[in-house]
C-alpha cells in the first residue's frame, strides 16, 4: 500500500500480477502516472491471476475486496494498471458503484492536461475520441449541444448511433486540421533540406531528461520537471555550433511501456519530425534500474512509426545520480555509440557538443548521408568539461 498523496481526486490503484517479469516496475510507473495526474492516492490493491477474468478482469473475489475498500475510503475513482475492455469497464463500474479508469485512459488524461499547442490539443482530442468511441454509453450528448441538437437525429435513430455519428464528424474535422499542419511541417522540412540544415530529434522514455538536455543545448526554457510526460508538445530550436554553423534540434514527447496505440496514431504528424530527422539522440535515464528495458520500449515505438533506420546515439543522462563517469563509447569501427553526461550539472555535455559539431561538419560533405554518424577522428578532450 502506498502512502497517501495530496491531490484533487481520491483514487484507488489496482494492479493484477499475471507473472510478468516487469510487474513491480509497472506498479511503480502506475503510481507515478497517478501522481503526474495530480490525484490523491489512497491505496494500492494487488492480486495474482493466471489470466484476466473475461467479465471483471480481476475476478469476483478481488472485485468484492475493491468494493469494500471503495466504501471504506469513499474513493471516487478506481484505476486499473491494465487495458480494460469496454464490457469489463462497464461491469466493474456497476459492481464498484464508482468510476473505473484503465491505464490507457489515465495516460490520455495526462496528455490532455499537458497539451498547450493547438496541434497538441488536436492530437490528444483525436486519441481520446478514438478510445472513447469504443466505450459509448450515452456519454457524449454535450457534442450534440455544441452543434445545436435540432435536426441532428434521423427518424428512429438511437442515442448511441447519434453519438457515434457526431464523434465521426469531429474525428474527420480533427484529421483535416492535422493534415494541414502536416503539410506545413513538410514545407518547413523541404526548406531546411534545400538549405542543408541538419535536423536532430531528442527521443527517449518519459522523464529521461530530454527537455533538460534540450534547454542546456539551446538555452531555451522548455518546461522540465521530475514527472512523467512533463513535455508533450514538440519544440524546435536552432542550435549554433562554433566553426560549423547552425542545426535544428527538436524536443519530442516521451514514450512509455504500453503506450496507447491511439496516441501513437494521433501523434504521427508530430512524430514525423523524428522520422525525417538526420540523427536521433536517444536520451536514457542512466540511474534507472530499468534503463535497458526503457531503451527497448523506445526502439519499439521508433520502429512502429518508421524511424528504426534513422541513425541514433545513446545519451546516458543523469550520471550525477549514479557511479558513472562522463565520456563516450565507440564501436569497433570508431563510430560513437554512447555519450555519458548530466544535463542537470553540465558534466559531459561538452562531449555531445563536440560530437554534434563533427557530425554537422560531416553532414555538409557530399557523401554526408552515409557517413554522418561515423566520427572516426573525434578525439576526447578533457579540457572541454
pLDDT per position in the chain (385 positions), as tens?
A: 334 444 468 899 999 999 888 888 889 889 988 988 888 999 999 999 999 999 999 999 999 999 999 999 989 999 999 989 989 999 999 999 999 999 988 888 888 877 777 777 887 888 888 887 777 654 444 444 444 444 444 444 566 666 777 888 888 888 888 788 777 766 766 666 656 678 899 999 888 989 889 989 988 665 555 555 555 567 788 888 888 888 889 887 778 777 766 667 666 666 766 778 899 999 999 999 889 989 998 998 888 888 889 999 999 999 999 988 999 999 888 889 999 999 999 999 999 999 999 998 887 665 444 444 444 344 444 444 4
215 in a known ligand binding site: no
Contact 363, 372 (CB under 8 A): yes
pLDDT value, residue 383: 41
Q: What Cα–Cα distance (Å) separates residue 368 from each residue in 181, 200, 359, 377? A: 29, 14, 9, 15
Distance between CA 84 and CA 54 in Å, rounded? 10
231 in a known ligand binding site: yes
62 in a known ligand binding site: no
127 in a known ligand binding site: no
71 in a known ligand binding site: no
385 in a known ligand binding site: no
309 in a known ligand binding site: no
Query: Residues 234-277: pLDDT tens digits?
Result: 778 888 888 888 888 988 777 877 776 666 766 666 676 677 88
Contact 277, 250 (CB under 8 A): yes
Query: Residues 111-156: pLDDT tens digits?
Result: 887 777 777 788 788 888 888 777 765 444 444 444 444 444 444 4
209 C-beta neighbours (distance < 10 Å), count: 27
Element containing residue 283 per DSSP (H, E)? strand 279-285
pTM attached to this predicted model: 0.72
16 in a known ligand binding site: no
Per CATH, the architecture of 10-101 is what?
Answer: 3-Layer(aba) Sandwich (3.40)
167 in a known ligand binding site: no
232 in a known ligand binding site: yes
CATH of span 196-384: 3.40.50.300
81 in a known ligand binding site: no
175 in a known ligand binding site: no
Distance between CA 125 and CA 91 in Å, rounded? 26
147 in a known ligand binding site: no
117 in a known ligand binding site: no
292 in a known ligand binding site: no
209 in a known ligand binding site: yes
210 in a known ligand binding site: yes
Distance between CA 158 and CA 242 in Å, rounded? 66
Distance between CA 189 and CA 172 in Å, rounded? 26
320 in a known ligand binding site: yes
343 in a known ligand binding site: yes
pLDDT value, residue 252: 79
Give 205-265 as a DSSP string.
BTTSSHHHHHHHHH-------SSTTS--S-EEEEEEETTTEEEEEEE-PPB-TT--HHHHH
Contact 260, 304 (CB under 8 A): no
Greatest extent of the chain over all pairs of C-alpha atoms, in Å: 78
Radius of gyration (C-alpha) of the chain in whole angstroms: 23
Distance between CA 1 and CA 42 in Å, rounded? 8
| Per-domain boundaries in the chain | 10-101, 136-176, 196-384
Q: What angle, rounded to 10 degrees, do the helices at 60-73 and 86-96 form?
A: 50
211 in a known ligand binding site: yes
**Going edge to edge, which strands form the sheet with 77-80?**
40-48, 10-17, 77-80, 99-101
**Grid cell listed for 361:** 561538419
Amino acid at each position: 500500500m502506498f502512502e497517501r498523496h495530496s491531490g484533487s481526486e481520491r483514487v484507488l490503484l489496482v494492479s493484477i500480477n499475471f507473472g510478468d517479469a516487469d510487474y513491480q516496475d509497472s506498479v511503480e510507473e502506475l503510481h507515478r502516472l497517478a501522481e503526474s495526474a495530480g490525484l490523491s492516492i489512497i491505496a494500492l490493491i494487488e492480486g495474482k491471476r493466471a489470466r484476466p477474468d473475461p467479465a471483471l478482469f480481476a475476478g469476483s473475489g478481488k472485485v468484492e475486496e475493491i468494493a469494500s475498500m471503495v466504501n471504506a475510503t469513499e474513493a471516487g475513482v478506481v484505476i486499473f494498471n491494465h487495458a480494460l475492455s469496454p464490457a469489463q469497464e462497464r461491469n466493474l463500474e456497476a459492481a464498484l458503484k464508482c468510476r473505473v479508469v484503465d491505464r490507457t485512459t489515465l495516460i490520455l488524461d495526462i496528455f490532455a492536461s499537458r497539451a498547450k499547442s493547438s496541434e497538441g490539443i488536436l492530437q490528444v482530442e483525436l486519441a481520446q475520441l478514438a478510445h472513447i468511441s469504443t466505450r459509448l454509453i450515452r456519454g457524449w450528448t454535450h457534442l450534440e449541444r455544441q452543434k445545436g441538437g435540432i435536426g441532428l437525429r434521423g427518424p428512429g435513430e438511437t442515442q448511441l448511433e447519434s453519438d457515434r455519428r457526431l464523434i465521426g464528424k469531429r474525428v474527420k474535422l480533427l484529421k483535416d486540421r492535422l493534415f494541414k499542419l502536416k503539410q506545413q511541417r513538410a514545407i518547413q522540412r523541404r526548406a531546411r533540406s534545400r538549405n542543408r540544415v541538419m535536423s536532430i530529434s531528442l527521443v527517449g522514455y518519459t522523464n529521461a531528461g530530454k527537455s533538460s538536455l534540450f534547454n542546456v543545448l539551446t538555452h531555451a526554457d522548455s518546461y522540465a520537471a521530475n514527472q512523467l510526460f512533463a513535455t508533450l508538445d514538440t519544440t524546435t530550436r536552432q542550435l549554433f555550433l562554433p566553426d560549423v554553423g547552425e542545426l535544428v534540434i527538436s524536443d519530442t514527447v516521451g514514450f512509455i511501456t504500453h503506450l496507447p496505440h491511439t496516441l501513437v496514431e494521433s501523434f504521427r504528424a508530430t512524430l514525423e519530425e523524428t522520422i525525417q530527422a538526420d540523427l536521433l539522440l536517444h536520451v536514457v535515464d542512466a540511474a534507472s534500474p530499468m534503463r535497458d528495458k526503457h531503451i527497448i520500449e523506445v526502439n519499439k515505438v521508433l520502429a512502429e512509426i518508421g524511424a528504426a533506420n534513422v541513425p541514433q546515439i545513446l545519451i546516458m543522462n543523469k550520471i550525477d545520480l549514479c557511479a558513472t563517469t562522463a565520456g563516450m563509447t565507440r564501436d569497433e569501427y570508431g563510430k560513437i555509440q554512447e555519450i555519458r553526461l548530466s544535463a542537470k550539472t553540465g558534466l559531459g555535455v561538452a562531449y555531445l557538443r563536440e560530437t554534434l559539431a563533427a557530425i554537422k561538419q560531416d553532414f555538409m560533405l557530399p557523401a554526408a548521408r552515409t557517413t554522418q554518424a561515423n566520427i572516426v577522428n573525434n578525439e576526447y578532450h578533457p579540457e572541454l568539461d
